[in-house]
Amino acid sequence: MFTIRHWQCIDSGQLTGAVKGATFHRTQTSKGVFCGSLLRAEIGRGVLDTGFYNRDLMTEGQFPKDTVTVAMFLDAKVETIFNGISLEPNDLSVIKPGTETLYTIPAETRWASLQIKSEDLRLLGVDFANSKNKIFKKRSLSHYPFMTILHSLVNRLQYSEDRHLTSFAPDIMYNHLVENLAYLLTREQEQITLTHDRYQQIAATVKRILNDDITNIIQVSDLCHLTGQSERTLERVCKKAFGLPPQRLLKSHRLKVVRKALQSNTEEKLNISKLSMDYGFMHPSRFAGEYKNHFGELPSQTLTRNR
């Protein structure tokens, strides 16, 4: 299910629901008429909120209690202050459920807030019950892949016409965000020592899962659940056994699933772009290039040859 809502505010008092599930109180701290724009998109089990304010605001309250919040300030002329910590544009804050907050947000700041279900991260080995909030500074580049995905999604939502948004596969997009965030959060944990036999056993299980199911999309969270391993452990096993991290290994699997669908197609006219989006490939031209690199022919050639 994908839904999207836009609204405009001219009074900072209307901003109580700017972040879904949060209990925030906002105070305008600079003089002048307040104007703001807000956007909310419900993507799978997640919620993405974005906004832009023309005046300085102070925000205090509590983040949602059942979700992990990922917050990022995309455009700002000066630093934002979060619980006494200075944040620059593109610094990433990962905030545990129920955190009490005090933000000082400068005028002309564009922000994004992504809500992810805590249990979805737990399935991938991330538990915030006893952890602290995490700040990833932009100069470290460790969060660059996740930041890029979030930027791209926000831009597409803000600047695309609504009719183009039906091409989203919301559950796949949500799982993609969860998996990338889980990888970012677990990559800093201590290495787990695995015996050679255990490596082989996990690798064999992954291979069997991929070989046995050539008709459905498999997510990293599915692999974690079926193997009983964290994403970090799967990362090490897949790189060692297959030479690819889980995300790329599963992309290869998705390409095979699309190829199977093209080979078994009986429709007179098949929209290859729509088919690729149904399987999580958001950019048709990029998909065509990846498909050709993988199979030595374009998707259209596979479709034509099997008619």
The CATH number linked to 16 is 2.60.120.10
Residue corresponding to tokens 């599915």 = 222
Q: Which residue has the tokens 């190829």?
A: 259
**Mean confidence (pLDDT) of the chain:** 82
Residue 120 sits in the same domain as residue 155: yes
CA proximity to 282, closest of 43, 34, 88: 43
Q: Which helix (H) or strand (E) holds 82?
A: strand 80-82
Tell me how far apart the alpha carbons of residues 31 and 46 are, in angstroms, rounded to a whole number. Answer: 35
Residue 290 has phi, psi (to 5 degrees) of: -65, -40
Which phi and psi (to 5°) does residue 239 adopt?
Answer: -65, -40
- Asked if 74 and 111 count as a contact pair (C-beta separation under 8 A), the reply is yes
For the segment 234-269, what is each residue's pLDDT rounded down to a tens digit?
Answer: 888 898 888 888 888 988 888 988 898 888 887 777
- Tell me the mean pLDDT in the region 135-144: 76
Residues composing the chain: 307
pLDDT in tens, 49-66: 998 888 898 888 899 888
What is the three-class DSSP state of 94? strand
Q: Do 98 and 127 belong together in one domain?
A: yes
pTM of this prediction?
Answer: 0.61
* 161/215 same-domain check: no
The residue among 185, 214, 247 that closes a domain is 185
Range of the domain at 212: 193-305
**Is 165 found in the same domain as 47?**
yes
Which of 163, 185, 207 is the C-terminal boundary of a domain? 185
Q: Write phi, then psi, for 165 (nearest 5 degrees).
A: -75, -15
Beta strands in 29-79 (DSSP E): 36-43, 46-53, 57-62, 67-75
Domain co-membership, 118 together with 27: yes
Does residue 235 share a domain with residue 215? yes
Q: What is the pLDDT of residue 257?
A: 86
Residue whose entry in the numeric block shows the structure tokens 């949060």: 22
**Which of 71-75, 138-142, 232-236 is predicted least confidently?**
138-142
- Choose the final residue of a domain: 143, 163, 185: 185
Q: What percent of the chain has pLDDT over 70?
A: 88
Same domain, 67 and 143: yes
Q: Let me know whether 108 and 216 are in one domain.
A: no
Domain count along the chain: 2
Is residue 115 a contact partner of residue 67, using CB atoms and an 8 Å limit? Answer: yes
Same domain, 142 and 198: no
Identify whether residues 84 and 156 lie together within a single domain. yes
Question: Are residue 94 and residue 231 in the same domain, yes or no?
Answer: no
CB 79 within 8 A of CB 86: yes
Question: What CATH number is attached to the domain comprising 293?
Answer: 1.10.10.60
Instruction: Say yes or no: 218 and 264 in one domain.
Output: yes
Identity of the amino acid at 29: T
